[in-house]
Structure 1
Amino acid sequence: MMPIGNHKFSVISEDIISKIKNGEFRPGDKIPSENEIISVYGVSNTTARKALLDLELKGWARRIKGKGTFVLNRTMDHRLLRTLGSIGDTRVGFHEKLRAEGFEPKNIILEKTVLEEGVSLGIGGKHFIIEGPVLKIHQLRYANEVVMKDETKYISLILCPKINHFQTDISYYKIYEEKYQLSVSHLRQTLSCTLFEPEGGDNHFGVNHTIPVFVLDSAVITSLDKVVELEHSYYRGDKYLFAIEAHPDF
């Protein structure tokens, strides 16, 4: 427990800010709740509440009613950090993640259709297959009116019947687990990069200059070794930063 003197709430908020600056809390992460602050710092609920309010007033965090207080991504110049290989990070939906970081998300559907034939995608030298019928969703993902991601997902309608009736701004991982009782065991992902020219037919980012683009190919695999989702997406390379979460065998 750290010593607390005068202006207790300010000392607490500055301590949390220092943890944000050194990366212990990243944009979109949930920071300690009022009760957790009371327990860790040994202060009253009034002081804890003031500390959280101070973080909001200084622009470091944002409270979402019923969810908690989350670290803001303070500028659009700061790249959005996403973690490969992390089911926990991927479980948070695009909209939910951006709102927690302080951005206003939006998506525009370019195509939503049912493919009767199966699809396959090569990832890391292996082909992953979903037998038909398959739901295909191609959409543009926005943050504050800026296209951040050009996303194409393929979802098994055998494992997830009628999932095509859901809105596309949801967290599909939560739907897999909560609605269809599927246990996601692991992900297979590859990340590469390319350049998009402004006149390129695949370029939906709406910019008039060449931009770097991350290409993410991903397979979501259940505990029964069934592929429930394949994804082929483009991320703006000047807006994203990717981390890697390793799971060594012990």
Structure 2
Amino acid sequence: MMDIINKQLPIPLYHQIKEDIIEKIKNGTYKVNEKIPSENELVKLYSVSSITVKKALLDLVNEGYLYRIQGKGTFVAKPKISRVLTLMSFTEELREKGLKPETKVLEINEISNSVIAEKLNLSPEESITKIKRLRLADGEPIAIQTSYLPSKILANVASEQLEQMESLYKILESIDIQPYAAREEYSITILNEKELYTLLKQKKGVPAFSVKRITFTKENVPFEYAESILRWDRYSIEVELKSEY
């Protein structure tokens, strides 16, 4: 039988093991939520030390390919949703990846907030519509998004439309407001607020992606400021870089 890893290559053994396990996840040999072979079984399979196997598995857990249950073993994690920096709506983004999007509107309120007003180029006292939503993929909560829009642009939108919305951008397109450009800021946050980790079905203290975004029309007018919390175990961030030469 041909060796699965090649000890003559200059590639570290743990990395070769990682690549082999990733390939088995991708081709369905190891299925989502299925237990993979134990560390001892992998040591025999790859003919390497337990330290090498532990290193490979730890990396795969940290990278989101696997997860561990104490006393039970190591299992295949659900694939992460690769979030490409794009103007595509959440709904379109998930559908493109073969996932079923769902939105639960948590809150719709009229507020005044001078800090947010400044981001939207509004006067401090102008009314702002706050829309807080729980976003789900295949029935699983993966993000909490809070959008702030100038109330005046929603004047002709029925409250029922907002309360039952699937896609905010579809509603905005119906009133001739389309995203043309956006500026996003990414950071890592910790889920310490009970509402956040409860809605996302996470444990207190786990990390999450925090995304702050201002979206502009073609005329460079900001029409939405949004703050999103994304589950770290379901998202990865993908950035495409191109040379100017």
TM-score range, shorter chain: 0.5 to 0.7
Q: Deviations over 1:140-171 (max 9, x none)?
A: 11123321001100112223423363245433
SS of alignment partner, residue 175 of structure 2: coil
What is the rounded CA distance, in whole Å, between the counterparts of 1:119 and 1:80 in structure 2?
34
CA distance in 2, matches of 1:119, 1:104: 37
Matched, 1:77 2:70: no
Equivalent residue for 1:215, pick from 200, 210, 213: 210
Structure 2 gaps of 5+ residues are 1-25, 27-75
Q: In the alignment, does 2:176 pair up with 1:181?
A: yes
* Separation (CA, whole Å) in 2 of partners of 1:151 and 1:233: 4
Deviations 1:21-73 (A, max 9, x none): 8xxxxxxxxxxxxxxxxxxxxxxxxxxxxxxxxxxxxxxxxxxxxxxxxxxxx
Partners of 2:108 and 2:222 lie apart in 1 by 20
- Alpha-carbon distance between aligned partners in 1 of 2:170 and 2:103, rounded to the nearest angstrom: 19
Map 1:136-155 onto structure 2 (within 5 A). 136-155=130-149
Q: Distance in 2 between matches of 1:133 and 1:164?
A: 17
Mapping of 1:1-250 within 5 angstroms? 77-84=78-85, 86-87=86-87, 90=88, 93-115=89-111, 117-118=112-113, 120-121=115-116, 128-131=119-122, 132-163=126-157, 165=159, 166-167=161-162, 169-176=165-172, 178-197=173-192, 200-203=194-197, 204-208=199-203, 210-245=205-240
Count residues with an aligned counterpart.
165
The alpha carbon displacement at 1:111 in A equals 0.9
> Which letter does structure 1 place at the counterpart of 2:80?
R
Contact 1:185 1:221 in 2 (8 A): yes
SS at match of 1:173: helix
Residue in structure 2 matched with residue 29 of structure 1 by the alignment: none
Which residues of structure 1 form unaligned runs of 5+?
1-20, 22-74
- Normalising by structure 2, we get a TM-score of 0.56
Residue 112 of structure 1 and its aligned partner are, at CA, apart by 0.9
Give the 3 Å change call, closer, same or farther, for CA 147–158 of structure 1 in structure 2. Answer: same
The structural deviation recorded for 1:114 is 2.0
Richer in helix (by share): 2
CA distance in 2, matches of 1:162, 1:206: 36
> What TM-score, normalized to structure 1?
0.55
Q: Amino acid of the residue matched to residue 107 of structure 1? A: T
Over aligned residues, Cα RMSD in angstroms?
3.1
Distance in 2 between the 1:190 and 1:248 partners? 22
Q: Distance in 2 between matches of 1:149 and 1:221?
A: 22
Separation of aligned partners in 2, 1:140 and 1:230 = 17
Q: Secondary structure at the match of 1:181?
A: coil
| C-alpha separation in 2, matches of 1:139 and 1:223 | 26
- Note if contact 1:130-1:227 (Cα within 8 Å) is conserved in structure 2: yes
Partner of 2:177, secondary structure, is coil
Supply the distance in 2 between the matched residues of 1:160 and 1:107 (Cα, whole angstroms).
19
